[in-house]
Amino acid sequence: MGVSLKLFVLLVSLTLALYPSDVWGRGKVINLHEDNWEQMLTDEWMVEFYAPWCPACRALESVWTEFSSWSDDLGIKVAKVDVTTSPGLSGRFIVTALPTIYHVLNGEFRQYHGTRDKDSFMTFIEQKKWETLEPIPSWKSPASFHMGATAYFFKLSQLLRAVHNRLMEDYGLPTWGSYLIFAVATIVLGALLGLIMVCVIDYLYPCKPSGHHTRTVSDVNKEADLLDRGDVDDLVDEECSQSSQDERYSRSQSSSGAEEEEEEDEEEEKEAGSAPSSPGNAGKARQRRARKAD
């Protein structure tokens, strides 16, 4: 036992002698989460998004740790984010594959798509190859308001998943039972939110009265009272005006008819004067005059 301990101490001493102590104290991987992720908005960062169950992330772990030891020499900070414990950040950065690596410079984000080894990472920083990449547009920036709202939706989905697992594991509900509970809760919550929205809209934009007046029982009673008191002057005036209009119209029709008859008589007289008279023609003329007189 004593020999083994001495051998271990000797190996440690040799390691410390071969590698300067300042190397051991140089940069390390910084763990970022939803409470401190805003640190990356200043200075230059390389950030990895990973999950413990991801095989590719496990293979990258040693490389990323070795790369972080050069962070002080490169003048950057190396960090990682566990998406299983920080689902909001995976939504904020739209992480669709693992591992996902971002280069961040003073709040400007670029996604790294190169080879995942230490030399490639160092070359990417030293030669500033990140300048050849297009930064993420402002409307997709993780620091924007709407991406923050997306992060809350991702948190909500993670919470619902935890509730689903608890219902099945702790309370022994079948899968369909958990889904049924979520379906009913969704319907009830949707109905309540819809009712609230309708009330708010009615309060902010009340309905305007229409131009058409609807007669009510009270209106009918008022009209009956007016008729009983004899206050119908307006109604009489309207009837008189309507009757006078009808008379004027009938007079105009009769006058126009008389004028047409006079014109026809004149034409007949002209025809009779120009053509030789005969008993048949005279009789026909008398018959037409009689019909017109009727």
In-domain check, residue 288? no
pLDDT at 278 over 90: no
pLDDT at 25 over 50: no
pLDDT at 291 over 70: no
Predicted confidence at residue 232, as pLDDT, reads 47
4 vs 103, more confident: 103
Per residue in 43-53, pLDDT tens?
999 999 999 99
Partners of 100 in the beta sheet?
A: 49
In-domain check, residue 70? yes
CATH number at residue 88: 3.40.30.10
Predicted confidence at residue 178, as pLDDT, reads 81
59 vs 238, more confident: 59
Query: Which range marks the domain in which residue 56 is found?
Result: 30-145
Region 94-106: mean pLDDT is: 93
pLDDT at 205 over 90: no
Predicted confidence at residue 173, as pLDDT, reads 82
Q: What is the mean pLDDT of the chain?
A: 76
66 vs 181, more confident: 66
27 vs 53, more confident: 53
pLDDT at 101 over 90: yes
User: Of 129, 145, 161, which marks where a domain is finished?
Assistant: 145
209 vs 71, more confident: 71
What is the maximal distance between C-alpha atoms in the chain?
Answer: 167
Domain identity same for 84 and 183: no
Structural domains of the chain, count: 2
Predicted confidence at residue 213, as pLDDT, reads 53
Domain identity same for 139 and 39: yes
Region 112-120: mean pLDDT is: 93
In-domain check, residue 157? no
43 vs 148, more confident: 43
Position 1 confidence tier, pLDDT thresholds 50, 70, 90: very low
Q: Which of these, 126, 97, 102, lies nearest to 114 by C-alpha position?
A: 102
Domain identity same for 91 and 198: no
Tokens of 130: 């990140």
pLDDT at 185 over 80: yes
In-domain check, residue 3? no
Domain identity same for 133 and 69: yes
Predicted confidence at residue 24, as pLDDT, reads 40
In-domain check, residue 289? no
Catalytic residues: 54, 57
Domain identity same for 116 and 175: no
Domain identity same for 125 and 182: no
Return the amino acid letter for 215: R
Q: Which of these, 92, 97, 14, 5, lies nearest to 50 by C-alpha position?
A: 97
pLDDT at 224 over 90: no
Domain identity same for 129 and 40: yes
Identify the weakest region by mean pLDDT among 14-18, 132-136, 211-215: 14-18
Position 16 confidence tier, pLDDT thresholds 50, 70, 90: very low
190 vs 156, more confident: 190
Domain identity same for 37 and 97: yes
Position 21 confidence tier, pLDDT thresholds 50, 70, 90: very low
Q: Helix/strand/coil (H, E, C) string of the chain?
A: CHHHHHHHHHHHHHHHHHCCHHHHCCCCCEEECCCCHHHHHCCEEEEEEECCCCHHHHHHHHHHHHHHCCHHHHCCEEEEEECCCCHHHHHHCCCCCCCEEEEEECCEEEEECCCCCHHHHHHHHHCCHHHHCCCCCHHHCCCCHHHHHHHHHHHHHHHHHHHHHHHHHCCCCCHHHHHHHHHHHHHHHHHHHHHHHHHHHHHHCCCCCCCCCCCCHHHHHHHHHHHHHCCCHHHHHHHHHHHHHHHHHHHHHHHHHHHHHHHHHHHHHHHHHHCCCCHHHHHHHHHHHHHHHC
Domain identity same for 41 and 99: yes
In-domain check, residue 164? no
Position 54 confidence tier, pLDDT thresholds 50, 70, 90: very high
In-domain check, residue 88? yes
Domain identity same for 180 and 105: no
In-domain check, residue 242? no
Domain identity same for 35 and 123: yes
Domain identity same for 110 and 178: no
Contact between 70 and 27 (Cβ < 8 Å): yes
